Chain A
Amino acid sequence: MIISRQKEFKEILRNLNEWNIFIIGCGKCAAKMRVGGEPEVIEMGKKLRRAGKNITGWTVLSSACSIPSWEDVLSCNPGVKKSDALLVMSCGGGVSAISRLAGITVYPALDTESLGGVCGDENLKELCGMCGECKVWIFGGICPISQCSKGLLNGPCGGAVDGKCEVDERSCAWDEIYKKLEKLGKLEYLEIIHEPKDHTKKERSGKV
């Protein structure tokens, strides 16, 4: 699950120079997160009309990042060809995929935050740091790369106050790792000294 949030409407409007706009939502993560499914796409259309834009149509693709045929999208949505720009309400993956296929400017309506998940009705942010060398079992299934604000592999930093991370209100990831390993009877994993990450293991190791 890709965790995204909607941009401020005024920012979307500031970016959108074009007049004729077609809106594309995403039926997967963005719909589940209620930031890019049908209700949000319809609401966005209303707001843009009120702001003076001409909405040539809208659709919610089953998955904005996985498009088997752009021709099919065009034939089902004649409004796309009448538009000067697309506004895509999906994660950056969807925006980039559509940008490759559409011959016009594609604007993101969302900001992508992290790779997370949903357990029951709880949305979970930053579950995976996409480091390319997963060892999450050693940390009781709680990835310190993404859950610890400093991505520390060998234990907590000492900055947490009353179990809260120094960066925000979240619990210290290392306290959670400790509790989980204790429950699993695997506290000895905490003694492992981890070497620095090999960043060449990431997809495109040069990216920042």
Chain B
Amino acid sequence: MNFGDKLLSGKFIITAEVSPPKGTDIEEMLKDASLVKDLTDAINVTDNQRALMRMSAQAACSLLRQEGYETIMHLTCRDRNRLALQSELLGASAMGIRNVLVMSGDHPVKGDHEGAKPVYDLDSVQLLGLIQKLNRGFDFSGNLLAGGTDFCTGAVTNTDTNELALIKLSKKIKMGASFIQTQAVFDTGKFCEFMDKIEPKHEGGRVKIIAGIIPLKSEKNAKFLNSNIAGVKIPEDIIHRMRTAKNPEACGMKIAADLINELRDMCDGVHIMPIGNHENTREILEMAGII
């Protein structure tokens, strides 16, 4: 069963995030992926995340596929115009990549190539629309393709959303997103409110909501995320628990496991985004009782 089928099956989805290497040595990436092999329904592969230049997500996904992994290729609007986006997508399809997660992408000034020209020829809503065209066998300009694509497409959202962000999310759903991966969740009460707010928008459960999880490693970690990562709001009680914990890493794992356990009845899956590698992911999922 592929990832798209699993989404339809109603199974509680588990995905995990892996970053391509900064360089050509893929050993660490393969090792990280191997830590979550057999635990996940698909591995997300990032696209120059936080605007830090790395190996292309398409190449990394292809390499992981050779090793037997199903991947979700991230695709940002930051680095490519509509020609390059389509070439990338056709190439990805030919390499057997079936799932794409679309996002605007952090601005170049946030990364390690500050002077780069930001592209944003399309935005995430328009890119989702473009993928629907490719799936129907046509390019952006309406030319017939010699073989179309068959992508299962997803989009991202923060969960602490105002009306404006909800409108954008509903546009993403209208333009064909079949799953939504959220920014890291630390407050299930707030997440529940988010789910209520989007309930009328996600088409009676057709669109699957996968909640983001970042296992914390330290209080410093938590504070860094709060002040530097948009959409992450770690409540004071969690920061206090991290501050007073004898073993902060174990405490972070417990917090993540408890969150997953609570989220199980609220949404359609979880997406694990560790700080560093996946060495603790198996144990967290076991503690949460979902594997």
- A residues contacting B by CB (< 8 A) are 149-161, 166-167, 174-175, 178, 190-191, 193-197, 208
Check A150–B230 contact: CB distance below 8 A.
no
How near does chain B come to A145, taking the closest CB pair, in angstroms? 10
Among B106, B117, B123, B165, the residue within 8 A (CB) of A153 is: B123
B161 nearest CB neighbor, chain A only = A158
User: Beyond A149-B107, A158-B231, is A190–B167 a contact (Cβ under 8 Å)?
Assistant: yes
Q: Is B171 in contact with A154, judged by CB distance below 8 angstroms?
A: yes
Residues from chain B with a CB closer than 8 A to the CB of A191 are 167, 171
Query: Is the Cβ of A150 less than 8 Å from the Cβ of B118?
Result: yes
B175 near A156 (CB under 8 angstroms)? no
**Closest 9 pairs (CB-CB, A-B):** A155-B168, A154-B125, A157-B104, A150-B120, A152-B123, A159-B230, A178-B164, A196-B126, A167-B107
Q: Which residues of B are interface residues toward A (Cβ below 8 A)?
A: 77-78, 82, 104, 106-107, 109-110, 117-118, 120-126, 129, 140, 156-158, 162-165, 167-168, 171, 174-175, 183, 230-231
Are the CB atoms of B120 and A152 closer together than 8 Å? Answer: yes
Q: Which residues of B contact A155 (CB under 8 A)?
A: 123, 125, 164-165, 167-168, 171
Given the complex, which residues of A lie within 8 Å of B77, measured CB to CB?
A: 150
Chain A min CB distance to B188 (Å): 20
Are B104 and A175 in touch, CB under 8 angstroms?
no
Known: A149-B107, A150-B104, A155-B167. 16 other contacts (CB 8 A): A153-B126, A154-B171, A155-B165, A155-B168, A155-B171, A156-B165, A157-B104, A159-B107, A166-B110, A167-B109, A178-B163, A178-B164, A190-B167, A191-B171, A194-B125, A196-B140
Known: A155-B171, A193-B175. Contact between A166 and B121, CB under 8 A?
no
**Cα–Cα distance between A178 and B270 once the two chains are bound (Å):** 31
A156 touches B168 (CB 8 A): yes
Q: How far is the CA of A105 from the CA of B206 in the complex (A)?
A: 65
Contact yes or no, B168 A154, CB < 8 A: yes
Chain B, residue nearest A148 (CB): B120
A158-B104, A158-B157 in contact; A193/B123 too (CB < 8 A)? no
CA distance A159 to B158 in the complex (A): 9
B120 and A193 contact, CB distance less than 8 A: no
Measured between alpha carbons, how far is A146 from B183 in the docked complex, in Å? 27
Say yes or no: A154 contacts B165, CB within 8 Å: no
Task: Indicate which residue in B122, B140, B165 contacts A158 across the interface (CB closer than 8 Å).
Answer: B165
The 18 sampled A-B contact pairs (Cβ below 8 Å) are A149-B107, A150-B77, A150-B118, A150-B120, A154-B125, A156-B168, A158-B230, A158-B231, A159-B107, A160-B230, A166-B230, A167-B109, A174-B164, A178-B162, A178-B164, A190-B167, A193-B175, A196-B126
With a 10 A CB-CB cut-off, give which of A156, A160, A191 has the most chain B CB atoms.
Answer: A156
**A161 contacts B230, CB within 8 Å?**
yes
Q: Are A196 and B107 in contact (CB under 8 A)?
A: no
B202 nearest CB across to chain A (Å): 17
> Which partner residue on chain B sits nearest A163 by CB separation?
B162
Determine the distance from Cα of A158 to Cα of B230 in the docked complex, in whole angstroms. 7
Which chain B residues border A154 with CB–CB below 8 Å? 123-126, 168, 171
Are A166 and B125 in contact (CB-based, < 8 A)? no
A155 (CB) vs chain B CBs: closest residue: B168
Instruction: Please tell me which one of the listed residues A152, A161, A193, A196 contacts residue B104 in the complex, with CB atoms under 8 A apart.
Output: A152
Minimum Cβ distance to chain B for residue A161 (Å): 5
